[in-house]
């Protein structure tokens, strides 16, 4: 089979300008692109042919040689003229590399069209929703079942989410014939854009459902019973799959995320799974020792033995009286911190007793004794 004339291959006249040749080649290349021609076995050969033709005609020297000698200008090794053009274009059989040379941006568009084309997704996933839930520490300790009311959109019951009114069907979009994409000329390029009529859905609704105005979903408050597990803390997220916003026209629903915020407690301060509790004790109890009762997070109480001579700030640990771990494991501990309290509003009798006590005191204040002997040393050293 005789080799086709290069001008003929590209579909231009011999007198065509460089610009016209370029345009013709682009049109041809797009038409023959492998992505579009999976069922055309000749496309590859034709593409190579067009590529070869353009490779010569775009180059002024090669074009001049071709105009003068025809295909003979590039045949064989021998008479080959103006040089070296040879390997240059013959070797370029490879589709992708030939394409990437000239057509990077256009190729990108093809990829886009292909990506969207397969799905032509008329259905769109609904948005995820966030719900902030503030709970108290007791509930975080025990866990709870909570009903939350979420303003969201749900699939329209009247049209089963299709958006079309009773008895009517969504129709194929006339602008894009259901492709969801339209072609537009932009400079040299024919690009595909999302169809403005149907927003890429490929369908239009002639007779929209009155309940949802054709959206296929309606705004509604949704009540959900949420199981908050024991051990949650501020920042814990609970995901309720599929409980977010309904998808558009039958698309999958988004998820609902419950963000937990645990309020401060008036008695307990939380540190991971441990709890801290400051407990005031009287001066006498701290000095003499004794038993006190402290509250626990489960609503009960625990007896704590105060050793004789306890100082303010002393910490005591109650094992296993802290918070449960969210993902199982041992319960944390509770730490008691003693705050020794100075008595106020003394009666004359109490004052008398304390004065008497003070007069009898000698080696009863370990901190004070250490402090004052340090002070004495300090003053001595300054004098010396
Ligand atoms: Zn509807
Ligand atoms: Zn359309």
Summarize pLDDT for 218-274 with one digit per residue, the tens.
888 888 899 999 999 999 999 999 888 888 777 888 999 999 999 999 999 999 999
- Domains of the chain (ranges; CATH) run 6-107 (1.10.287.110), 129-262 (2.10.230.10), 269-341 (2.60.260.20), 348-383 (no CATH)
Distance 150 CA to ligand 1 centre (A): 20
Average pLDDT, stretch 342-357?
96
In whole numbers, what is the pLDDT of the chain averaged over residues?
81
Model-wide pTM > 0.85: no
Residue 212 labelled as part of a binding site = yes
Neighbours of 313 (CB within 10 A): 10
**What burial letters (b/e) apply to 332-341, b meaning 16+ CB within 10 Å?**
bbbbbebebe
Neighbours of 205 (CB within 10 A): 23
Give the residue, 156 or 112, on which the prediction is more confident. Answer: 156
Distance 220 CA to ligand 1 centre (A): 13
Average pLDDT, stretch 81-101?
35
- Under 8 Å between Cβ of 183 and 192: yes
Distance 257 CA to ligand 1 centre (A): 26
Residue 156 labelled as part of a binding site = yes
Could you write out the DSSP letters of every residue in 151-164? Answer: EEEEE-TTTTTS-B
Separation between Cα atoms, residue 47 and residue 44, nearest integer Å: 5
Shortest-distance ligand to the CA of residue 199: 2
Separation between Cα atoms, residue 361 and residue 230, nearest integer Å: 52
Distance 378 CA to ligand 1 centre (A): 88
Distance 198 CA to ligand 1 centre (A): 17
Distance 218 CA to ligand 1 centre (A): 7
Average pLDDT, stretch 319-345?
93
Which segment, 23-27, 152-156, 161-165, 229-233, is predicted with the most confidence on average?
229-233
Give the residue, 197 or 107, on which the prediction is more confident. Answer: 197
Residue 125 has pLDDT above 90, yes or no: no
Distance 247 CA to ligand 1 centre (A): 13
Shortest-distance ligand to the CA of residue 161: 1
Shortest-distance ligand to the CA of residue 154: 1
Residue 290 has pLDDT above 90, yes or no: yes
Shortest-distance ligand to the CA of residue 193: 2
Q: How far is CA 59 from CA 24, 66, 71, 291, in A?
A: 15, 10, 15, 101
pLDDT of residue 1: 52
Residue 277 labelled as part of a binding site = no
pLDDT of residue 321: 96
Distance 210 CA to ligand 1 centre (A): 6
* Vertex 188 angle, CA 183 and 189, to 5°: 30
């Amino acid at each position: 089979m005789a080799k086709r004339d290069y001008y003929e291959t590209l579909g231009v006249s011999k007198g065509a300008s460089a610009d016209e040749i370029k345009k013709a080649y682009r049109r041809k290349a797009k038409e023959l692109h492998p992505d579009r021609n999976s069922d055309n076995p000749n496309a590859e050969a034709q593409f190579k042919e067009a590529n070869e033709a353009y490779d010569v005609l775009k180059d002024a020297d090669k074009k001049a040689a071709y105009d003068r000698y025809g295909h003979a200008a590039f045949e064989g090794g021998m008479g080959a003229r103006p040089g070296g053009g040879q390997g240059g274009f013959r070797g370029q059989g490879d589709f992708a590399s030939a394409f990437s040379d000239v057509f990077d941006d256009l190729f990108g568009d093809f990829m886009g069209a292909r990506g969207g084309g397969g799905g032509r997704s008329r259905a769109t996933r609904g948005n995820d929703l966030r719900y902030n839930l503030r709970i108290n520490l007791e509930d975080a300790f025990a866990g709870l079942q909570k009903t939350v009311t979420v303003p969201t959109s749900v699939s329209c019951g009247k049209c089963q989410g299709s958006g079309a009114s009773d008895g009517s069907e969504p129709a194929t979009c006339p602008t894009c014939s259901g492709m969801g994409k339209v072609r537009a000329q932009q400079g040299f390029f024919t690009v595909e854009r999302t169809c403005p009529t149907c927003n890429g859905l490929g369908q239009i609704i002639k007779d929209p459902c009155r309940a949802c105005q054709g959206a296929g979903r309606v705004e509604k408050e949704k009540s959900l019973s949420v199981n908050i597990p024991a051990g949650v803390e501020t920042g814990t997220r609970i995901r309720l799959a599929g409980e977010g916003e309904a998808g558009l026209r039958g698309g999958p629903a988004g998820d609902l995320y419950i963000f937990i915020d645990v309020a401060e407690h008036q008695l307990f301060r939380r540190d991971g799974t441990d709890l801290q509790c400051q407990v005031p004790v009287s001066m006498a109890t701290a000095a003499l020792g004794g038993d006190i009762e402290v509250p626990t997070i489960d609503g009960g109480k625990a007896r704590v033995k105060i050793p004789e001579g306890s100082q303010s700030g002393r910490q005591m640990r109650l094992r296993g009286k802290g918070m449960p771990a969210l993902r199982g494991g041992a319960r944390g501990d509770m730490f008691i911190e003693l705050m020794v309290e100075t008595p106020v509003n003394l009666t004359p009798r109490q004052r008398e007793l304390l004065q008497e006590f003070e007069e009898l005191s000698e080696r009863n204040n370990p901190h004070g004794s250490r402090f004052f002997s340090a002070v004495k040393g300090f003053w001595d050293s300054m004098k010396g």
